[in-house]
Structure 1
Amino acid sequence: MTGFFKYALWPALLLSSTGLTGCYAQAGNTDGKASQSQREESKLSEAGLRLIPLTVTSGTETHSFTVELAKTSQEQARGLMFRTELAPDRGMIFPFVQERMASFWMKNTVIPLDIIFVRSDGTIESIAANTTPYSLDPVRSGEPVAAVLELAGGRAAELGISAGDKVEW
């Protein structure tokens, strides 16, 4: 591409590759302003992943997090690799299309993580706490799960999160 054509298409290509539509308007919204929920839905992490709210209910306690949504196989393969920090109220959720036995490793993962395996009913099946950075040893679920949640290493124990607790996003 050359000249005007190249520069005229660049913004459209950029928006389509990031999954953004560039427009918040929808039926019933005549003032052109985005609602709070629309703005929250469009928030992206530094890695370009959608940020969503997630809660873990442990007994009478509810713990709130903002997590990156790793939906595609490419996003899930990269996960939290190469990150040098993870805030205590942040994490990443890996939802699966179908329940499956999950196996993760820590290759190229700089920080320790709590890897939390979540059943289809939202209950925690098990937690692999403080996994070892750079380890090639597989970390596996004990049964088929619907999702995996990763938090900063030690955070689950710090908050009293355990198997049987409920995860919602």
Structure 2
Amino acid sequence: MKKAASFLLAMSIAFGAFAGSASATTDLRAAIDPLIGIDYKYGGSTTSGFDCSGFTSYVFAKFGIDLPRRSVDQAAIGTKVAKDELRPGDLVFFNTNGKTISHAGIYLGNGKFAHASSSRGVAIGDMNDSYYSTRYVTARRILDQTKYEKIAVEAPAVEVSAVPAAPAADAADVARTTEASELAAEHGL
């Protein structure tokens, strides 16, 4: 019985550690996060390696959205969005070759975007980074309001409640219970 009381106390402490809000995420982040760290591969559009437009195409295909294969072509679809009106799920485009749009990413919010970098593979970049801020060209919104709300809006956090703790036993209760179980064990009961 002493072991059972100790077990119940340990379980109530353990579940108490989980009380509070569970971390919320979006379907978009759930699709992107497992890809972080995958190597860059020119022309790549699979988990064996991505280039920038292969990465954006791969992610949006998970939601039934087909994108053109090249970043310059992706920049011609959807609705143009001002930089200060970006929302998660918007495509962001950069001129990294000095000629035309040559890089694409997916805006995540708070100035961050996911992309396949030739130097780091799939990574989270910062729109305010000196490299990207000076090369930013445009953004396109390809998600209508319904799709945006479904895949790119964070669901409200779910409250996880702890299991109520068993009432604490005082020392006399534990002693009586332990003594009774020891006597029962001695007499084969």
Q: TM-score range by the shorter chain?
A: under 0.3
Greater strand fraction, Structure 1 or Structure 2: 1
What TM-score do you get using the length of structure 1 for normalisation? 0.22
What TM-score do you get using the length of structure 2 for normalisation? 0.20
Greater gyration radius: 2
Higher relative contact order (Cα pairs below 8 Å, separated by 6+ residues): 2
Greater helix fraction, Structure 1 or Structure 2: 2
